[in-house]
Structures are given as structure tokens and as C-alpha cells.
């Protein structure tokens, strides 16, 4: 359903986030417990033998609304209502992290900084903040909002000297987003090319970057599964932790990413699949491993 369509927020938000689905989810869990599914048992058995995968539900904000885009294209994916309500719902359902993005700032067409600061202040969980953080002022504003870390994107490609200083000053509170088409990085809200993935990764590693958020732009919002090969390739070239983003559509996808934890994947960002009700966050947390 297009972003901003009449009734789209109510239609989309209630199935994924509303209280009305809590009882059916519990009933489904009870039924599964009473009649074990061999596939569920296999996933559970395999998962219990693997290191834990952190999950970061995404709240992407455009003009004060929670949205999900398809391949980063403005106006696609759907409107999912009040971003504060969405963030609080993910926290209530067990999230320990939130991936919070100002898409207006990422596209260079505005800012939701005050709203994002209010969201961070209302939460008791860690927040990774992203979108339009390209200079000292925007970095200071994001960090002062109380987020655990920020995710630099375009700045890491267009202003490497400032990025190196930010990494040196703030350490693991700064991650760098590597948004990729093939092996070419995307910048400016994915509207421009930003250089070679491997050259940029080598430079950032040398500068001491603590963490990377890796997105296959072609997969983002498509619900077609993550690019596991890309994640493996990045992990093979760096010893820094990697957060996977883009493509998760099923619990099997979550389980597949979890198998890469030993290779360096630390977490996974999940957006469209949760908002569209492909599975619940508690179900995903069970597959990813709980504390």
C-alpha cells in the first residue's frame, strides 16, 4: 500500500504492533507446544547450539511518521503510524535495541531530530540512531539525545577526515553504515554512488572503526531474504562486528543470519517483516536467542 494512503497506518500498525494480536500469538504458541512441529523443534535445537544474535527492530521516520521503504525509494513501502508508539511497542515486546532512522535527514530534505530525541528519551533500551549525521553539529545532537551509538553513512564516504576524527573521539559509539549495490557503496539516501566497498572498508578498519552496519540496497524492504554471501565476504575482510540489514522476511532468515555470528555478524536489523506481520518480534527473539 503506498505511503500515506487513506487508512494505511491503521491497517498496517494493528496487525504487527497492536494489542489485539497478543492473544492470538499466545494461542498459537500454546498450540505449537501441545503439538510440536518437527521443523520448529529442529530450528530450536540448532539455535540452542549457536551464539546469540542481537535483533534491532527498525523505526524509520518521514515527516513525523513511521514508514518502511522499498530499496530506499521515497514514498514506497507504507505508513505505519506514530513512530513513538512503534518504538514503545517494540520495547514492550522484548527488544533490547532499536534502529532509529531520520529518513528526511538522510535524503537532505528536512529533520525529525526533536522527535527522535523524544523517542530516545522515552525508551529504556539501547538505540542506534542514523540518518543525516554528517558533521560535528549533527553528531553532537544525536549523541546528546542519549542514543547508545550513531550510524554514519554519507559522511564516511564524502568526508573521510572528519569521520576519522569522529571515530577516534567517540570509539564504539560510532558505527559506519556500508550500504551496497554489488560492491559499490550508495550515499545521500542511496541516491548517489559512493565508492568501492572494499577500499572503504580497508580505510575505515585502519582508522579504528568499531562496527559496521551492512545493507544490501537491492534487498532492503523486498522481503526476499538477506544477502548472506555479502555478509560473509565483509566478515572475512574485517575483525570488527557487523550488523546485518535488509531482506529479512522469515524466521528462517533470522536463523540463517544467526549461523554467521561465529564469523562476525553481531546483530540484524528487521523492519518490513515485523510491520507487515510476517512474524512477531517475540518469535524472532526466540530464534535469535534470548539472554
Out of 60, 79, 102, 216, the active site residue is 60
Distance CA 166, CA 136 (A): 8
**Is 60 an annotated catalytic residue?**
yes
176 in Cβ contact with 156 (< 8 Å): yes
Among 79, 102, 104, 179, the active-site one is 179
Q: Is 179 a catalytic residue?
A: yes
Cell of 152: 554514519
Q: Are strands 192-196 and 184-187 parallel, antiparallel or unpaired?
A: antiparallel
Catalytic (active-site) positions: 60, 179
Amino acid at each position: 500500500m503506498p505511503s500515506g494512503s487513506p487508512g494505511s497506518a491503521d491497517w498496517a500498525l494493528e496487525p504487527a504492533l497492536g494489542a489485539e494480536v497478543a492473544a492470538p500469538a499466545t494461542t498459537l504458541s500454546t498450540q505449537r507446544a501441545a503439538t510440536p512441529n518437527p521443523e520448529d523443534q529442529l530450528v530450536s535445537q540448532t539455535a540452542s547450539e549457536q551464539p546469540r544474535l542481537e535483533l534491532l527492530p527498525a523505526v524509520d521516520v518521514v515527516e513525523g511518521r513511521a514508514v518502511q521503504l522499498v530499496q530506499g525509494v521515497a514514498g514506497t513501502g507504507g505508513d505505519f503510524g506514530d513512530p513513538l508508539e512503534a518504538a514503545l511497542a517494540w520495547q514492550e515486546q522484548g527488544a533490547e535495541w532499536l534502529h532509529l532512522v531520520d529518513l528526511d535527514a538522510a535524503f537532505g530534505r528536512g529533520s525529525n531530530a526533536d522527535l527522535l530525541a523524544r523517542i530516545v528519551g522515552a525508551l529504556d533500551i539501547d538505540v542506534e540512531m542514523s540518518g543525516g549525521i554528517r558533521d560535528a553539529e549533527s553528531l553532537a545532537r544525536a549523541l546528546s539525545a542519549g542514543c547508545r551509538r550513531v550510524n554514519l553513512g554519507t559522511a564516511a564516504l564524502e568526508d573521510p577526515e572528519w569521520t576519522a576524527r569522529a571515530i577516534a573521539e567517540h570509539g564504539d559509539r560510532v558505527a559506519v553504515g556500508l550500504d551496497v549495490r554489488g560492491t559499490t557503496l550508495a550515499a545521500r539516501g542511496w541516491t548517489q554512488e559512493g565508492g568501492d566497498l572494499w577500499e572503504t572498508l580497508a580505510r575505515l578498519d585502519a582508522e579504528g572503526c568499531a562496527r559496521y552496519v551492512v545493507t544490501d540496497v537491492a534487498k532492503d524492504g523486498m522481503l526476499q531474504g538477506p544477502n548472506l554471501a555479502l555478509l560473509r565476504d565483509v566478515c572475512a575482510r574485517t575483525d570488527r562486528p557487523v550488523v546485518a540489514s535488509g531482506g529479512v522476511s522469515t524466521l528462517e532468515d533470522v536463523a540463517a543470519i544467526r549461523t554467521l555470528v561465529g564469523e562476525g555478524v553481531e546483530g540484524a536489523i528487521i523492519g518490513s517483516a515485523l510491520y507487515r506481520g510476517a512474524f512477531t518480534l517475540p518469535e524472532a527473539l526466540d530464534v535469535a536467542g534470548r539472554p
